[in-house]
Structure 1
Amino acid sequence: MTTITDPSYVDPALINPRALRLVEAFKDALARLRDEEGLTFDDINAVTDVLQQMQKATGVPLALAAMPLYGELFQGGQDGYTPSEDVQSPTFIPGSPRIDNPGTLPMRPDEPGTPLIVSGRVLDGHGQPLVGAKLDIYHAANNGNYSGLWDDGAPKYNLRGHLFTDADGRYTFTTITPVAYADAATMAVDRVIEAAAALGRSLYRPAHIHYEVHHPDLITPWTGETYFKGDPVIPVDFVGAKIAHRALQGDTALHEDPEDIAAHGFQGPYRSTEFDFVLKTRTSPDTITPKGESA
């Protein structure tokens, strides 16, 4: 049976006012780029072609493939709190094992890399500790691979674990020092190499540790990465030139004293870093003065 309908009819219930506004705003932005920067349709085609090649090579959603272009725009924490990414990384795997606090991330007996002791506190906007906050922690191995995503012989939860903060909001864990890495699938796409170079960026990510922080008092869980101050890859980070906010960069120290090394049970020099998360809870002020800055 054939149903004849009015071809000009659009169901009002399906119209999304927010979508209409965003599309018009996006077109206005493109028009400004056209008039002020000489944007052409060929330019848009070139960008979308590279993004499609990246998506095909990596298998990640197209929005994530485009993160080098816009990642820093959606970074939270511009109100004095620890900046968040508000985007769950495609490298996250749920169900990591619980470790003690202090504890050690699961790793192989011969895990390559320099030992690293990470510590810090999870605080609210009043500087009070968030007791019992759950920290999901993970990072890449020395070969740049994330366990559970590629079959390179590493256990599924290698360098992945979670812990809960103590009565002072403190957490401490031992792992190996992350290193800069590049995604092999992305590097295999010639157009991506050219595009990154044109933007003055490396194909490498700076060394970083991923966290997800959960607590009943948080308005939203915190998701993001912490970096290491002085890493030369940070200014040319492939994912975004500003993604490594200064507030996300922690100092590190190299420990080479033999007695200190032996006291910690290591076979050679190790590093340490301390990083405090300051997160907005339901009772926190809207804006705070970041640590180390004057009001």
Structure 2
Amino acid sequence: MHRRRHPVENSNHLKNIVDDAASITAVVKAAMSQTDNPRLKEILDALVDHGHAFLKQVKLTDEEFEKGLDFVRAVGLACNDKHNEVVLLADVLGLSTLVTLLNNSDASGRTPGALLGPFYRGDSPKYANGECIACANSPGSPLFVNGRVLNTKGEPVANAKVDVWQASPVGLYENQDSSQPDKNLRGHFYTDSEGRFTCKSVRPAGYPVPTDGPVGVLLESQNRHPFRPAHLHFVIIAEGYATLVSQVFADDSEHLHSDVVFGVNRRLVGTFERHDHGTGPRQEVDRPYYTLDYDFVLAEGTPTYPTPPIK
């Protein structure tokens, strides 16, 4: 006669065996408990806690899990030297902006941060104040930018490097548009003793984020448009101050209230004032033009240089 064997219960040497959905989280965290880096351990523990809670909340099916894995794989395969689909996914889910807000929001009065974006280049040409970053044959309405860089006490910050770049009037950056000259619509300036800088360009247009990959499919499934409102990018670097990575949005831009990457902050909305030919501060301009006046406020800290997201 064979003796029936029963499962061993409450055995100490089986304490890290998974019994059910309620027990797996503790087992996984126990397996990671020897992580040397305390910050990494904190992050991974929280990731497991919230990730497991998410799966339990939505009661994810096997089929849905497989589809999710296929989607993640497709996101990775869509990346190349000129495009990062992973960053785009983080953008449209609001993750990128949330991290920016967590790391750039305080009560000091400094200008809010915004996304660096995928088209930043760290080697923009240097221009003297007042010069134009648009090549001679660039279409579009002229735009004159008058800016000041201040500290949180309202004092001017002299010799700050102001790096600016933008999309063209058709919504394309030069490093995604072979018809534009190299480094068109980008350049850097230095503030004078009063913290001022000026530059000329053309008014930027809003544009869609890439939709030819899995993130585009995701947006379509959510009935969301892929557009960003018109804006200028800025990176401002000065000795003794934390680097500011930000954007200034056109106040009359379409999609200002529905930015696909959730990047619009009320304090980053600037007035793009239109002037008819022969009127306003630039009466010599032979066609209608725009002006933007904006003050940037830096907080004390250590300056750093951002890394371009793509090659």
> Common fold, TM-score beyond 0.5?
yes
Q: Partner of 1:202: helix, strand, or coil?
A: coil
Q: Which amino acid aligns with 2:47?
A: F
TM-score normalised by L of structure 2: 0.74
Which segment is superposed worse, 273-282 or 57-66? 57-66
Q: Which amino acid aligns with 1:250?
A: G
Cα distance in structure 2, aligned partners of 1:43 and 1:248? 39
Q: CA 1:151/1:115 → structure 2, altered by over 3 Å: closer, same or farther? A: closer
Is residue 160 of structure 1 aligned with residue 186 of structure 2? yes
Partner of 1:72: 97
Report the Cα offset of residue 40 of structure 1: 5.6
Deviations 1:217-273 (A, max 9, x none): 11x3111222112423133222x22x11111111121101x3227954433111111
Cα distance in structure 2, aligned partners of 1:157 and 1:133? 21
RMSD of Structure 2 on Structure 1 (CA): 2.9
Alignment match of 2:127 (pick from 99, 102, 105): 99
Alignment match of 1:19 (pick from 37, 40, 50): 40
Q: Which amino acid aligns with 1:108?
A: C
Q: CA 1:54/1:265 → structure 2, altered by over 3 Å: closer, same or farther? A: farther
Retained in 2: the 8 A contact 1:261–1:269?
no
Cα distance in structure 2, aligned partners of 1:222 and 1:262? 29
Partner of 1:139: 166
Q: Partner of 2:47: helix, strand, or coil?
A: helix
Cα distance in structure 2, aligned partners of 1:102 and 1:67? 33
Retained in 1: the 8 A contact 2:278–2:284?
no
Matches within 5 A, 1:43-54: 46=67, 49-50=70-71, 52-54=73-75
Is residue 196 of structure 1 aligned with residue 219 of structure 2? yes
Q: Partner of 1:103: helix, strand, or coil?
A: coil
Q: Which amino acid aligns with 2:91?
A: M
Partner of 2:145: 118
Partner of 1:171: 197
Q: CA 1:151/1:253 → structure 2, altered by over 3 Å: closer, same or farther? A: closer
Cα distance in structure 2, aligned partners of 1:51 and 1:265? 54
Q: Tell me, which stretches of 5 or more residues in structure 1 are unaligned?
A: 1-9, 284-295
Alignment match of 1:224 (pick from 246, 262, 270): 246
Cα distance in structure 2, aligned partners of 1:163 and 1:45? 50
Retained in 2: the 8 A contact 1:254–1:271?
yes
Deviations 1:157-211 (A, max 9, x none): 111111111121112111101101124xx3223x433422444532122111111
Larger Rg: 2
Retained in 2: the 8 A contact 1:252–1:271?
yes
TM-score normalised by L of structure 1: 0.78
Partner of 2:299: 280
Retained in 1: the 8 A contact 2:75–2:215?
yes
Partner of 1:245: 265
Percent identity of equivalent pairs: 27
Report the Cα offset of residue 215 of structure 1: 0.4
Cα distance in structure 2, aligned partners of 1:90 and 1:255? 32
Report the Cα offset of residue 52 of structure 1: 4.5
Q: Partner of 1:126: helix, strand, or coil?
A: coil
Report the Cα offset of residue 133 of structure 1: 0.5
